[in-house]
Amino acid sequence: MQLTRILAIRHGETAWNRDTRIQGHTDIELNDHGRWQAAQLADALRDEPIAAVYASDLLRAHETAQAVARTRGQAVTSHLGLRERCFGRFEGHTWTELEQRFPDESMAWRKRVPDFAPPGGESLLQLEARVVPTVEELAARHPGEQILIVAHGGVLDILYRAAAHLGLQAPRSWELTNTAINRLLWSPEGLSLVGWADTSHLQNRSSPVLDERHA
């Protein structure tokens, strides 16, 4: 059986990451540090065989993917299924603002209630039902090859849970750092973990490392 290797990457940092604002489907570009992270990622992956580059269509993910693809003379294929979870009216707010303005809804989010959706947004169940089939569909196109997928913290969290056979409400102990290199395998039986949260390519610059908890 031929497996598909997957490099699963969260986009580079944005100004809203730095401010801990919820982004969701709001289309925020990378900040200067995020562009530096994307360049470091491209350099770290320079010797990796990559058959195809896929990304969320949101600018922060697409720009990160382009940094890698450009150095290899490859194109980036956008896929709506790789978008971040839609957070509806939560988008644009900080964690503190949400706790003050929507305490009950904020608590349901923090407790990872699977069928809870912010008004106008998606539930975890809906996100899972979108992300896992999307990634399996893309992986199935490339048996015996390696692909790059650039997406978002919420997407990467779903993929980790699927590969580790963890439920949606299991406490998170794994990092979802901007442009960390995460490695998965896909077969027709599903996803499995190979390596997670490699940030060795980001260690030569003094800046705080943010993960998905920072919006």
11 is catalytic: yes
Gyration radius of the chain's alpha carbons: 16
Distances 80 to 41, 51, 121, 172 between C-alpha atoms, Å: 23, 20, 15, 25
Q: Which of 11, 62, 142, 214 is catalytic?
A: 11
The amino acid sitting at 61 is: A
pLDDT digits (tens, 9 = 90+) for 201-213: 998 755 555 555 5
Which of the four pLDDT bands, split at 50, 70 and 90, describes residue 2?
A: confident
84 is catalytic: yes
Token output for 214: 């920072």
Q: Which of 13, 63, 84, 122 is catalytic?
A: 84
pLDDT digits (tens, 9 = 90+) for 86-111: 999 999 999 899 999 999 999 999 99
Q: Can you tell me the distance from the alpha carbon of 119 to that of 106, in angstroms, rounded to the nearest whole number? A: 12
- At the topology level, CATH places domain 4-88+126-214 in Rossmann fold (3.40.50)
pLDDT digits (tens, 9 = 90+) for 7-49: 999 999 999 999 999 999 999 999 999 999 999 999 999 999 9
Q: Can you tell me the distance from the alpha carbon of 23 to that of 201, in angstroms, rounded to the nearest whole number? A: 25
Which neighbouring-strand residues pair with 42?
Answer: none
